[in-house]
Structure 1
Amino acid sequence: MNDTFGGSTRRFWRSIMVIARRDFGAILFSRSFIFFLLGPLLPVFVAVMAGGIGASVSGKIEAPKLGLALESSEADAFLAARKRLAESVSDLPDAVVIIRLKPGDRIMARSALARAKGGSPVTALLSGSLTNPKLTGPEAQVDRWRGGVALIAAEALRTDASQLPTVALDKTISARADTVRKRIRTAQASQMMLFLLTMLLAGMVMSNMVEEKANKIIEVLAAAVPMDAVFYGKLIAMLGVSLVGLSIWGLVMLPIGLSGGGLDRLAAPAVGWPMFIALGLLYFSFAYLLLGSLFLTIGGLAATVREVQTLSMPATMLQLIVFFFASYALGAMGEPIEWVAILFPLTSPYTMLARAAVEPDFWPHLAAIVWQAFCVALIIKGGSTLFRKTVMKSGPSMGKRTFLRKLLRRPA
C-alpha cells in the first residue's frame, strides 16, 4: 500500500511539474512578457528619481538645526563664534535663535523644544548659559552635537580650547526608542513593497485561467491530469514568472536605490538584512500563492473576460482591505488584533514580514510558514473541487430514484 501511495504521489507531482513547465515556458518566452517587464520600470524610475530629488531638496531646506534659548548677548556671541569656526571646523550644528531671554529668566527646555519643533527643523535645544550649557533633544542628536556646542561656547567665551565647558545632556528619546521607531519605518516600507508587488503580479493568474477556459485548453488539461495538479501547476508557473520579473527589476532598481541613499533612512531589521530578505521572498511567495489561489478559483468560475473585468474591482478592494488590516496590526504588536492578523491567511505574510523587522525571534516565522502553506493547500483543494462541480460537470446529477425510474422504463 505504501508503494501505491508513493507512486500516486509521484504521479501527482509529475503532473504538477508538467503543467508548471508548460505555463512557465509559454509566458516567459512570449513577447508580452517583455512588455510586462518594461511596464512598471518607467513609472518606478520616475518615482525614485522624483523622490531622490525631493529628498535632496528637503535635506537642503530642512537640515536639522539647533535651537538657542539664551540671553540675547550670549545668543549673539554663540552665533558669531559658530560663524568664525565654520571656516575651519566642519560638522558644527547649524543654530537658530528660538527664545531670547532676559537676565534671570528661566524656561522649561522640553516644553520649549516641543513648541519649536512645530513646523521647523529644530531637533535639539541649547539652554542654560555659555559657561554651563545644557542640550535637550534625542539621544543621537545631542551626542552628535555635544562636542561642537562645547567648542563654539569656548570660542564665544574666548577661553582656551583645551578648557571646554561641560555640556549637560537631557535626552528626550533613548537610542533604543529611536531604533524601534526606525525599525517600524522599515516594517511599513516592507509591507508597502509587498502589497504593491502582490497587487501588480497576482492578477495575471485570473486572466490566464479565463483565457484557457475560453480556448477549451483547461478541459484538455483536466482530462489528462487531476484538477488539483492543474491549479498547483499554474500557481507555481506564475510564481516562477513573478520571481523572474522581481529579479530583473531588482537588478535594475537596486543601484538606483543605493545611489539615492533611500536605504539610509531605514534601520536594519531585527533579524538582520540577509534573513529579512530571505523571509521577504518567502512571504512574497506565500502572499502570491494565497491571493493567486483565490484569483484562480474566481477565474475558473468566470465565464468571460468581461466577468473578470467586473470582478477585478472587488479583487482590488480585497487587497486594499488586507493591506490596511495588516498595517493596523503593526501598530498593535502583542495585542489580540495582531494575532488575528497572523492567523488570517491573507494578512499573515504582511504581518509576519513586519514582525521580522521589529522582533528578533525566528521561531514564530517557522510556525507562520507552515500555517500559510496549509492554507494554500486548503484553498487550492476547495477551488479545484468547486471548479469540478460547477464548471467541468457534463450534465445534471442523477439521483438513485431517477436512475431506477429510467431503468424500469427501458424496453426489454
Structure 2
Amino acid sequence: MPELIRAAWVIARRDFAAIIFSKAFFFFLLGPVFPLAIGIAAGSIGGQVARDIDRSSFALVMDSADSGAALKARASLAEQLGEQRVPVLVAVETDDPQSVIASGKDTRFLGVLTGTLAKPRLIGTKGEVERWQGPLELLVERAREGAAAAPATLETQLVAESSGSLEQGRLVTAQVGQALLVLLTMLLAGMVLSNLVEEKTNKIIEILAAAVPIDAIFLGKLFAMVGMAMIGIACWTSLALVAVLLAANGLPALPTPAIGWPMFLALGIAYFAMAYLLLGSLFLGIGAMASTVREVQTLSMPATMGQLLFFFLASFSVTRLGEPIEIFAAIFPFSSPFAMLARAAQQDVLWQHLLALGWQAFWVLVLIRFGARLFRRNVLKSGGGKRGLIAGLFARS
C-alpha cells in the first residue's frame, strides 16, 4: 500500500503540474460562463420541487365546530382562487398554540390560526403574517357567512421565527447546494476522460503502465484532477465574491443550513470531491474501453445522462426527508453526495455524513479497480520484456 500511494503521488504531481502550467488552463477557467445558461434552463425542471417547498401550511387551533367551518371555507376558496393562493389548514389539538411553530419543532407550519371565528388570532413571523393575513381574513369571513355579527378583525401575534419558515429556507439552501455540486462535477469530470484518451493516443499511458501499477496511475490522475478542480473552484469563488461585493456592497442574507455554514461548506467540498472521484473513476473505466475519440463520446454519453438522472433523483427527494426514495438516493453511490448535502442543510446530525463519505470512498476504490482491470484487458494485451528497463528509466527520471 505505501508503494501504491507513492506511485500515485508521482503520477498526481506530474499530471497536476502539466495541467496547471498549460495555456489551456486559463481558458478553462472561463468555462463556467457558458454552463450558466444551461443551469438556468435546468432550473425549470425543479418546478415541482419548488411548488412542494412553497406549499404554505398553517396550524388550525380552534374548537371542532369552528375548525370544521374553517376547513370547508378553505376548500371552497381553493376551488375559486386556486390551491397556491389559499394556505393549507391543518387542525391541531393543543393548549399552547404558539408551541406548534416553535423553531425546534419538526414541522412545516408557517403560523397558527387560533382563537374563534368570532375573534380569530394569527400567530407567525412578520413576513408570513404580512403575506397571508389578507387570504386568511377572507377565509375567516367565508367561514362566518350567515353570522349576524359584524365582520371579525384578525388579530396578529408576531414571533421571531417559525419552524415552517426555517425549513423552507433550509430547503432552498439544499437545492442551491445540489445545483452547484452537479454543475461543477459535470463541468470538471470530463477532463479526466480527455486526459486519459490523449495519453492512450500518444502511447504515454503504456510507458507509465510499465513503470507503476495501473491502480496507482488511475488514482494519481483522479487526485491530480481533484486538485486542479479545487484551484478552479477557488478562482471562481473569489470572482463571485468580488462581483457580489461590488454589486451589492455585501453578501446577501442566505438561509442558514441546519448543520451551520462552516460545517456545510466543509461537507460541500468533501461531497464535491467524492462526486468528482466517483464520476471520474467511471470515466477512467470508459476511457480504458475506448480506443478513439468517437468511441469515447459514444460511451460517455450514457454515463453523463445517468449522472443527471441521479441528480434529479436527489433533487426530487429533497422534500421527502426520511421517505424510502430519499433513503435510496442517500445510499446509492452516484446520488449519495447530492442527497447527503441536502441532508446537511436540513439536519444537524454529523455521524451520518462520516458514514456516507466512507461509503462513497469505498465505491471509488471499487470503480478504480474495475477500470484498471478493463485497462489491462483492452490496452495492455501483451506482456512486455521491456517492463523492468522502462520502470528503471522512469524511476531515475
Written as runs of structure 1 = structure 2, the 5 A alignment for 1:313-332 is 313-332=301-320
Q: Distance in 1 between matches of 2:35 and 2:325?
A: 35
Offset, 1:277: 0.2
In the alignment, is the contact (CA less than 8 A) between 1:140 and 1:175 conserved in 2? no
Q: Distance in 2 between matches of 1:310 and 1:183?
A: 39
Q: Distance in 1 between matches of 2:179 and 2:36?
A: 14
SS at match of 2:156: strand
- In the other structure, the counterpart of 1:339 is 327
Q: Distance in 1 between matches of 2:77 and 2:269?
A: 43
**Structure 2: segments with no counterpart, 5+ residues:** 44-68, 88-109, 111-117, 133-152, 384-397
- Residues 142, 392 of structure 1: CA spacing in aligned structure 2 closer, same or farther, 3 A cutoff? closer
Larger C-alpha radius of gyration, 1 or 2? 1
Offset, 1:39: 2.5
* TM-score normalized with structure 2 length: 0.68
Q: Distance in 2 between matches of 1:191 and 1:46?
A: 15
Offset, 1:229: 0.1
Q: Distance in 1 between matches of 2:345 and 2:250?
A: 17
Does residue 265 of structure 2 align to residue 273 of structure 1? Answer: no
Q: What amino acid is aligned across from residue 31 of structure 2 in structure 1?
A: G
Offset, 1:263: 6.9
- In the other structure, the counterpart of 1:391 is 379
Q: Distance in 2 between matches of 1:43 and 1:338?
A: 27
Offset, 1:43: 6.4
* TM-score normalized with structure 1 length: 0.65
Q: Distance in 1 between matches of 2:298 and 2:188?
A: 18
- Please give the per-residue CA displacement for 1:345-374, whole angstroms capped at 9, x wherever unaligned: 111111110000000110100111111111
| Identical positions, percent | 50
Offset, 1:393: 1.4
Does residue 214 of structure 2 align to residue 227 of structure 1? Answer: yes
- In the other structure, the counterpart of 2:13 is 21
In the alignment, is the contact (CA less than 8 A) between 1:134 and 1:170 conserved in 2? no
- In the other structure, the counterpart of 2:233 is 246
Does residue 190 of structure 2 align to residue 198 of structure 1? Answer: no
- In the other structure, the counterpart of 1:61 is none
- In the other structure, the counterpart of 1:311 is 299
In the alignment, is the contact (CA less than 8 A) between 2:125 and 2:162 conserved in 1? yes
**Structure 1: segments with no counterpart, 5+ residues:** 1-8, 52-106, 125-131, 147-165, 396-412
SS at match of 1:169: strand
- In the other structure, the counterpart of 2:22 is 30
- Residues 138, 18 of structure 1: CA spacing in aligned structure 2 closer, same or farther, 3 A cutoff? same
* Count of matched residue pairs: 305
Q: What amino acid is aligned across from residue 368 of structure 1 in structure 2?
A: A
SS at match of 2:342: helix
Q: Distance in 1 between matches of 2:249 and 2:360?
A: 34
Offset, 1:235: 0.2
Q: Distance in 2 between matches of 1:213 and 1:46?
A: 31
In the alignment, is the contact (CA less than 8 A) between 2:39 and 2:183 conserved in 1? no
> Which stretch of the first structure deviates more once superposed, 217-226 or 371-380?
371-380
